[in-house]
Amino acid sequence: MSENTDATGAAPFRVAVILGSVREGRFGTTVADWFAGQAAERADVEVDVIDPAEAGLPLRFPAFGSLPEPETAGALAAVQSRLAAADAFVVVTPEYNHSFPAALKNLIDWHNAEWQAKPVGFVSYGGLSGGLRAVEHLRVVFAELHAVTVRETVSFHGAWERFDAEGAPVDPAGCNGAAKALLDQLLWWAHALRDAKAARPYAA
């Protein structure tokens, strides 16, 4: 069996795990590292972690019909190629003021076709709400971009108490089971959409 195939001989699905927060001292890297580790254990998944803090995408957009400046174009191309290569996405997000962070929206808005006809799952974290209000807002945004959001989510309520000092979850059975359910559903859609696009290109 090739290193680039799973037990069935099919190519693994490329799942881009996208961090939502760029805040200094952010907790999101702990959550994202845990989820990426869960996904990487599967033979049918290749993981790519995308961090807006490292992307270098500016807040200022070029005018309609204009090309971005060379420096922006380089940063954009680096992220664009990774999003385009992904078969599915998982967004790891906190909740800021009942919604999701501006840096995440900026990364989303710089791209368009890369999201189309692909599934998106969510891992959220926060206080009592566990970041779920951010997820509900993201569902509307991704619907506009012709993406398919899956119902299963992973949510950490009181997130800072759910991981130990080494970044491991204190209740691994619960959250690992939730991660498996999310990935199972995400990959079902990834398989269905990949087959559908191979048979007939998606018309946005």
Q: How far is CA 32 from CA 22, 90, 114, in A?
A: 13, 9, 21
Percent of the chain scoring above 90 in pLDDT? 85
Q: Read off the pLDDT band of 7 (50, 70, 90).
A: low
- SS (HEC) of 109-130: HCCCHHHCCCEEEEEEEECCCC
Secondary structure element (H or E) that encloses residue 177, with its range: helix 172-199
What pLDDT does residue 2 have? Answer: 37
Q: Give the pLDDT confidence of 96-131 residue by residue, as tens digits.
A: 999 999 999 999 999 999 999 999 999 999 999 999
Spans of all domains in the chain = 13-57+74-199
Q: Is 72 exposed, middle or buried, given 0-12, 13-18 or 19+ CB atoms closer than 10 A?
A: middle
Q: Which CATH class is domain 13-57+74-199?
A: alpha beta
What integer best gives the mean pLDDT of the chain?
Answer: 94
pLDDT score of 5 more than 60: no
Q: What is the mean pLDDT of residues 134-140?
A: 98
The string of pLDDT tens digits covering residues 55-101 is: 989 888 989 988 888 888 999 999 999 999 999 999 999 999 999 99
